[in-house]
Structures are given as C-alpha cells and as structure tokens.
Amino acid sequence: MKGISAVIATLLMLVITVGLAITAYGYITGLFEQQKLKIELSDISCASGSQNYYITLRNVDFFENVSIRDVQVRLDEVPISQAALIWDWVPGVVAGSQVITADNSTVLRFVCSNAGAQGLPSCVPGTTHRVKVIAPGSRTMGDTVSCG
C-alpha cells in the first residue's frame, strides 16, 4: 500500500507542475500578443448634420511610437488615401513628426462626399457605412456608423 501512495503522489505533483507550466505559458504569450497590437480602436463616430467621420485611435505599445503612415482606413472596403485623412494634432501626436506616441490617443477624421468630390470617399447621407482601420501588423478593427 505504501508503494501505491508514493506513485499517486508523484503523478499528482507532475500533473500540478504541468498545469502550472501551461497556465504560465498562456499568460506570458498573452502579454506578448498584447504588445504586438500597438493600435487600439477607441471610437468611430460622425458629426450630426455633416459628413465628417471621426476615428479615435490609441497606441497601446508602451515602448514604441506608431507612424500614422502605417495606419490604413477603409470605408465600405474602399481604401481612403492618406491625403484624405486629417490627423487632429492632440497630446498623443507630436506635431510634424506624424507618430502616435507611446500610450496616448489621437483622432483622425475624413470627409465623405455624396457629390463625388475629387479625392474624397463617396457615401450617401443617412445610410450605414462600415469603417475599417488596418493597424501595423495587419490587425483589422472596425465598426458600422451612420452619418446624417
């Protein structure tokens, strides 16, 4: 009987050790995955009575700045050119450097045109559109929004 108890105790210790190792691996992997995200989409909205879309982005990387040139925006799967994106220089973005500093937020906006204005994405007021943001590392975020 004493021999069986030692075997069971050894097996239990091995199972507990392997379980703790798997838990630690999952936790550490999750931390590194979070660091790869870099950009987080905080909000997508539009101004009532206008065709201005506002996208609030946050740099969740605590160590690196993110270049705004690395961020792509699509409206109903149609890419919006960097020239049509207007970056509002807020405390998270160093004016002229075009980077979102570590652990800060910024707002970008673009104007949508139902008249087919040159260089502007087209949309029809009052309809729902899908806005998608593609961040560095090809992470895709988005939401639907309707502008009046």
pLDDT tens readout for residues 68-114 = 778 888 888 888 887 777 776 555 555 555 677 666 777 777 877 66
Q: What share of the chain has pLDDT > 70, as a percent? A: 70
Q: 93 and 106 in contact (C-beta within 8 Å)?
A: yes
Q: What is the mean pLDDT of the chain?
A: 75
* 1, 4, 18, 21, 133 from 7: Cα distances, Å: 10, 5, 17, 21, 56
Q: What are the distances in angstroms from CA 64 to CA 55, 67, 136, 138? A: 21, 10, 12, 17
Cα torsion at 21, 60, 75, 119 (round to 10°)? -140
- Enter the tokens of residue 47: 């101004």
Mean pLDDT score, 40-50 = 76
Instruction: Report the pLDDT averaged over residues 4-26.
Output: 90
Report pLDDT for 20: 95
How far apart are alpha carbons 100 and 102 in whole angstroms? 7
Listed in sequence order, the residues at least 6 apart from 56 whose beta carbon sits closer than 8 Å to its beta carbon are 41, 42, 43, 44, 105, 106, 107
The pLDDT assigned to 97 comes to 58
Q: pLDDT grade, residue 34 (50/70/90)?
A: low
